[in-house]
Structure 1
Amino acid sequence: MTGPAALVVRARRVVLPDGERAATVHTADGRITAVTGFDDAPTAAVTLGDDEVLLPGLVDSHVHVNEPGRTEWEGFASATRAAAAGGVTTVVDMPLNSVPPTTTVEALHVKRQCAEGQVSVDVAFWGGAVPGNVDQLRPLHEAGVVGFKCFLLDSGVPEFPPLDDDGLCAALTELAGLDALLIVHAEDADVIAAAPGPAGASYPAFLASRPPEAEETAIGRLLAAARDTGGRAHVVHLADAGALPLLRRARAEGVRVTVETCPHYLTFAAEEVPDADTSFKCCPPIREAGHREALWAALADGDVDLVVSDHSPCTPELKRLDVGDFGLAWGGIASLQVALPAVWTGARARGLELAQVATWMSTAPSRLAGLPQKGAIAVGRDADLVAFAPDGRWRVERLLHRNPVTPYAGRELTGVVRRTWLRGIEVDGSPRGRLLSRGST
């Protein structure tokens, strides 16, 4: 399970914590042992092409693997092969859509047993916070989950119900005592109930069914609870740029809150979504171009902390492409394999740097999930490395996800993952990944 004795990789462009430069990365036993000058390399060193950049392996802290229980949607083997093909060397599995959900230590053990021997990259796990399981949060924390996920409205699956305001405060209070993190799907059920119901092929009608106010109201509730309890909170998959001022003010006041967005909110815009193309359905929804551009600006300014996929696939039948009904279709975007090139395509078009993308997609998610051995090309970290050709162009066709439905199908992206190393071994689809616990070193 360790790397080769002396893998050495050098490149004219290496993204390091202090910037990008030519360098040689030395590794032994799966860890980075030194970062030296480009010419300080043995004869056997792997030398990247002049069109390639060496990146730290990505950490995707928002992945729905769905195994066990809904393995026909995805699964540990297929998800982790797709991750490696996309330069992701660590995924953190969400606690819902599997059966049982990860809301007890026993369920965590079941999930770990399912993953054992299947994973091509490293995998860590979120626990779940649901009504009635406050007494399970400490045991799950002690068992190594990286934090806890909750919903503030119907999750879409009956075995993972949402928290009301009392439940939210109870969970945050318990987790504050552990200095543990609560990550939150923040949409407000009452706002959505008052909006027109989603039905039919019209994307504007679906968008109207989940208005921006649903995110802003729920985020306001979360910020109040975090302020009152002192708990650590994280807003997942922000789509509504109108919530950014709320988050800025709360952080200025000392509320411990972070926020992520996703490649689909940075790539697509509601004005471009075809009617009846339910591959675009997700919750919260892809909003108008103004939201997209404001999210890019917030990333550049540091008001959004990270970008992760929210890979949430399902079977083609559940996407209801046959009838194109946004009200009937499962909401979720399959994107694990394309997240890096999708984000880089958008970043490059806006004059942003590859080093910034590495921060959003590797360093920041590893910090969020409490995985200090990941997230950077630095001495002592795991030798998780990616050879990335930032000028390469390709069209999204065959993907390694279990199910092929994705709004990226047929789209041309810039940036090609050419090689991925996990702890010093090039990933070839073999199940060499490890199951990680919070704080693993």
Structure 2
Amino acid sequence: MNGRYIDIAAADGSGQFRAYLSTPASGRGPGLVMLQEIFGVNATLRALADHYAEEGYTVLVPDLFWRQTPGLELGYGPEDREQALACYRAFDIALGLQDIQSAINALRTQPGVAEAVQAAKVGVVGYCLGGSLAYLAACHTDCDVAVGYYGVGIEKRLDDAATLRCPLVLHIPAEDAHCPPDAQQAITQALAGRDAEVYIYPGADHAFARPGGDHFDKPSALMAHQRSVAALKRAIGPHFDLSALWDRHCEYEFATRDVDATMATMVAEPYVNHIPTMTGGVGYRHLHHFYSNFFVNSNPPDTRLVPISRTVGATQVVDEMLFCFTHTCEIPWMLPGVAPTGRPVEIPLVAIVQFRGDKLCHEHIYWDQASVLVQLGLLDDSRLPVAGVATARKLLDETLPSNALMARRP
């Protein structure tokens, strides 16, 4: 964990409560109050706060059960669940909202938040109990944006939507018994036409975004996180030049061929996956080894990247390009075990590059391996529905013939 604890004075003068504070590597960034599940500010929440700190946020996780059981940190077993539910039943929502406002106020005075480009901007993100409180915070506090994951009981407080004060995003799993289809419909209808986005995740269940949980659904969690960060960046930042960061990474890979400089553009534990050959690495140590031995210094000297298009989103860059080379050396990441053929190759390639803050988090790289093998004379395209260099040529000239493979049908 990267954080520390601070104390916050309750607005009603009844005492102080503890909050976990995690800051970005830069030391400054927009504020984000993270609201707990019923299991307290446990290791799961603190790890999630650290994750958002990597995104560039100064994150504060207040202990909202301090009036019932201060410092509660529970697991997810049956006994823990019973204790958590007892705290939940004793929880006073009105006082909880006061404590959330106190946390927002405290976060705005943190040096890293006050010094951020969008000074003193604070968002709220919450899970389960915290998800419903995030919705209420958007209606009753002065936060600048709110994101709620699988909030419980929102459909019972839809009248509060009349006082919605800021952009709101809600992530609702379709199979959540705590928010059945009629509740999902009521929430969606009540927020229609307001500054709110409601996303339903088919097949996902309650706590789908909790890593290691029984209902963890990685595709839904990834999609929800991208939507969350996009909403946060629109409202409070931070803003990074992802295009320039990706260009710098590619320069280190293909121009200067500097492994350490390449790794320095990435998060502490990144991964790379070349989809067709499943080459790459997961984690710093494995990826550094891969770059050093099988990638950065293993590309032919005439390797060229020809940009075709680039799409820059809130959290990722999607690059469409031509990857061109002469097969004068073994290329372990693309053609492992294949001896040099001396043949030229031009292949369309797509890179989907995910960022966390101002660092690369992962790369998913796609190309048509069959087209590469055809160009090297290793695959007979007369017997199979595959094409060679024509795939690259047509990408640059759309007037070239279409449906040539179909025309070969008897």
Tell me the TM-score normalized by structure 1.
Answer: 0.31
Rg (Cα) greater in structure: 2
Choose between structure 1 and 2 for higher RCO, CA contacts under 8 A separated by at least 6 residues: 1
